[in-house]
Amino acid sequence: MGLPAALCRAARHLIDRVDAGSLWRRWQGRPAVDAVCLRAAHDDTERRRCFARRVGGEPTALARRYGLAGVRGQTRLLNLTTAELATRSGRRRARPLLLEALQALQQQGVRVVALPETLQRLFGREGRGLSARFPGLVFTHGLNARVCLLGQELARLLQVSGLRRPRLLVLGACQPLGQALAERLQAQGHDLLAWGAGRARLLAWAQRSSVAVQPVFERIGPVDVVLVCGPVPASQLVRLQPGPGRPLLLLDGAEPAGVAAGTLRTAAGRLWHQRVGQCQAPGLRQGLAWAWRSGCPVPAVVAEALALVQLLARQPQGLQGFQDGQGFQPSAAQQFRVARAFAELGLDLPPPCSRGRPVGIPRLAALVESAWPEVSVTQP
């Protein structure tokens, strides 16, 4: 049974003010926190655990703490919910809240701030207005880390399953994550097809990137592995046909999850699903306001924020490309820097899981090579 909301708020507030690690860092002349991930509360229940009032008071509250290799990070909540952020009035209230929070973080010496796209876009599609207002902060939303993790998970899946030369399908290619992943996989020489909801945008991107796309979902044809980077049309997904005698392999890297639990139940036995977007390290600690735990995976956005702080400390020029708002636009150069920082910190893939439960990677040793006939695709 959870703590009462009032007691939960008091514990978070107390630890936020008198955390021993933060006090020691201040005594050494260092900022109490190096990286902060800001987000809205999931719902009113989570907000009541952190805020005594719906409006007024502190703009943010402590949600979770992280520590790795001398880098301290936090997740902090804004005093509004994701449902409110989806409304026009909620976005109007969110903008001054976010500005106040960022001003406080910059004054406290925080170096890296991670924002979800919903908050980033309060200041334009690419979030460049934020960097102009807060030159002392480096911004990101974790897309480079998610691209890296999806690529690593795909490599592990192909190695363990035994499937060679698979036909890959990237779903969500109208989103920055899907586009960055498709371009990375094409550069690696994979047999790749991309789909996204939005024909004009999809074709325009295909023209720039030369990635093969298919705007009509029903014409995609057979595939071996699906990489989910956005919401998936469930009715069409279950119609995709894998090889004979094996399930369709799905790696779901969308945030929130692109494949609904109902779809997985409906297609039980025909779909193999793995959630992607977390990593772990031996020395990584995390916890709520009053407890630390080690060995638990953390979201990609948190791992990227911690890695960027470490990279900034070791190589002050190593964050070139993350400045001036470019941290919101994934690129191959940024993914290389993030991957290198992950390796230095020991951040690696956790065991495969789906909907919070461990899953085993199917072994397809008897069907080790994809041999699909050519299908028609649209490639401008």
Q: Supply the pLDDT for residue 76.
A: 93
* pLDDT at residue 136 in the model: 84
Q: Would you say 308 and 376 are in contact if contact means Cβ atoms under 8 Å apart?
A: no
The confidence score (pLDDT) of residue 75 equals: 94
- Taking only the tens place, the pLDDT of each residue in 221-258 is 889 999 999 888 777 787 787 767 778 899 999 988 88
Q: What pLDDT does 276 receive? A: 95
Is 90 exceeded by the pLDDT of residue 99? yes
Q: Which residue has the higher pLDDT, 97 or 3?
A: 97
In the structure encoding, which two tokens stand for residue 51, read together? 């805020």
pTM of the model: 0.87
Ramachandran bin of 321, using left for φ above 0, alpha for ψ from -120 to 50, beta for the remaining angles: left
Considering its fold, how many domains does the chain have in total?
2
Distance between CA atoms of residues 313 and 96, nearest Å: 31
Q: Does 151 share its domain with 249?
A: yes
pLDDT value of residue 323: 56
- Judgement on whether residues 207 and 106 belong to the same structural domain of the protein: no
User: Are 101 and 185 part of one and the same domain?
Assistant: no
| Domain range enclosing 363 | 144-278+353-367
Residue 169 pLDDT greater than 60, yes or no: yes
Mean pLDDT score across all residues of the chain? 84
Q: Do residues 274 and 285 both lie within one domain?
A: no
| Same domain assignment for residues 111 and 178 | no
Query: What pLDDT does residue 29 have?
Result: 84
- Checking if the pLDDT of 133 tops 50, the result is yes
Residue 320 belongs to some domain of the structure: yes
Is the confidence at residue 69, as pLDDT, over 70? yes
Q: Give me the mean pLDDT over the 303-317 stretch.
A: 86
pLDDT level of residue 72 (50, 70, 90 thresholds)? very high
* Residues linked to residue 225 through DSSP beta bridges, in sequence order: 168, 249
Residue 375 has pLDDT above 80, yes or no: no
Same domain, 116 and 191: no
